[in-house]
Structure 1
Amino acid sequence: MLYITIFAFTLYCIVMSIRTIFIPNAIKGKLVSVENFLYLAFVYITILIGFGLIYILLETKGYEVMVEAYPLPTESFFERLETYIYFSAVTLFSVGYGDIAPIGVGRMIAMIEALIGYTIPAAFVAKAFIENERE
């Protein structure tokens, strides 16, 4: 039950973070500003950590999510979490390096994360441009 609650909360945080891009007046002022940069950085950080937690929760429940090309011989929980957050970052910001590959249910989750990673900048720029044109 605890895993379901953590999973649901993590998913809620990801969805609410993405939702803020589409809320009117979320992006204010100039197109390029420290406030807008920090806003976008926090959206990315929330999504990155959220997906990392989803991956490790699935592994903890016994699902195979990824396979590493160079696994470490013994890894603690925090080292695994670090690996999953790294995998999440590489998936969110690029196509991947090839040192870690998703398998099983991890493939579908990685596809969703990559899609989110590619659409956030476009949505952010479009929203900022539309808000700037209104002013």
Structure 2
Amino acid sequence: MSHAILTIFILFFLFQIGAFAKKKGEMKDTHNFALQWPLYLYIFTVMISLTLIFAGIYYIMSFSSPILIDSNQGSVMKDHNFAEMIYYSGATLLSIGYGDLNPIGPIRYISLFEGFLGIVMPTVIFISEITNKHKED
């Protein structure tokens, strides 16, 4: 059931991106958009890439020792799978921090760095875009 819901969510999300791109294209002659469509795609791509890179780091590090505590169960997770690492990485990168998974050991510091990147990267990209727009004008 969860796979079906996830599939529906992904299809809906892709449909919304397509609808946004189509509507933006129709309105380009009458509206001035400050931020261009490729910027959103670029930020999305960067954030997805960072999520997958850190998920890979966490997954590889989980081979040597447990790296997460399941706070719902109150126990150290001994078996990790890549899907859990993507979830943990995404929650950390987006600074959501549900609290259901907590890092232990050196992963705590890597998680802090990932959370920092999740805040700084979109900011840097937006500031860079604004600076480029200002130079063009």
TM-score strictly above 0.5: yes
Unaligned runs of 5+ in 1: 1-29
Greater relative contact order, per chain length (Cα 8 Å cut-off, separation 6+): 1
| 1:119 maps to amino acid | V
RMSD over aligned CA atoms reads 1.9
TM-score by length of structure 2 reads 0.67
Aligned to 1:54: 57
TM-score by length of structure 1 reads 0.68
Describe the SS at the equivalent of 1:88.
Answer: helix
Summarize the alignment of residues 15-94 of structure 1 with structure 2, pairs less than 5 Å apart.
31-60=34-63, 62-70=64-72, 80-94=81-95
Aligned residue pairs, count: 100
Could you tell me how far apart the structure 2 residues matched to 1:31 and 1:102 are?
A: 40
Describe the SS at the equivalent of 1:96.
Answer: coil
Q: Which protein has the larger Cα radius of gyration, Structure 1 or Structure 2?
A: 2
| 1:39 maps to amino acid | Y
Once the two structures are TM-superposed, the CA of residue 95 in structure 1 deviates from its matched residue by: 4.3
Aligned to 1:110: 111
TM-superposition CA deviations, 1:17-54 (whole Å, max 9, x none): xxxxxxxxxxxxx6422211111111111100000010
Describe the SS at the equivalent of 1:107.
Answer: helix
Determine if the alignment matches structure 1 residue 130 to structure 2 residue 131. yes
